[in-house]
Amino acid sequence: MSKKKSPKPTLGRCELCLREDVETTEHHLTPKERGGTFLGTADLCIPCHKQIHALFTNEELAAGLNTLESLRANETVAGFLRWIRKQPPTALPRVRKSQHVRGKR
């Protein structure tokens, strides 16, 4: 059985941190495994996308963090956004999953 390839990142604006000229990937606001296959998506830069999945389980994302507004309102995400906005568009910081997320998978 062949595995589907992820779409290649495209250059654009991150809908979460609002940085311009960054590589973006499609983020399912409701995870696909939680019924979000045909629901809304957002174009996120790679650091924002990785950070979201490092901080939260798919259950948490589906239950209450399934809009850009709810993600921005989260205290931890807000701190990350303040920091990432100061970084150049080419920055790809190292992201580690939180212990909270590592323990859930």
More confident residue, 103 or 22: 22
The answer to whether the beta carbons of residues 90 and 19 sit under 8 Å apart is no
Task: Identify the pLDDT of residue 29.
Answer: 86
Q: Where are the domains of the chain?
A: 11-102
Beta bridge partners of 43: 26
Among 29-33, 34-38, 67-71, 77-81, the minimum mean pLDDT is found in 34-38
| 95 band by pLDDT with thresholds 50, 70 and 90 | confident
Which whole number is the average pLDDT over 10-24? 93
CA distance to 21, 44, 79, 81, 101, per residue, from 15 (Å): 12, 6, 16, 11, 24
Write the pLDDT tens digit of every residue in 61-86: 889 899 999 999 999 999 999 999 99
| 32 band by pLDDT with thresholds 50, 70 and 90 | confident
Structure tokens given for 67 = 């809009």
Write the pLDDT tens digit of every residue in 4-13: 555 667 889 9
What is the C-alpha to C-alpha distance for residues 103 and 84, in angstroms, rounded to an integer? Answer: 26
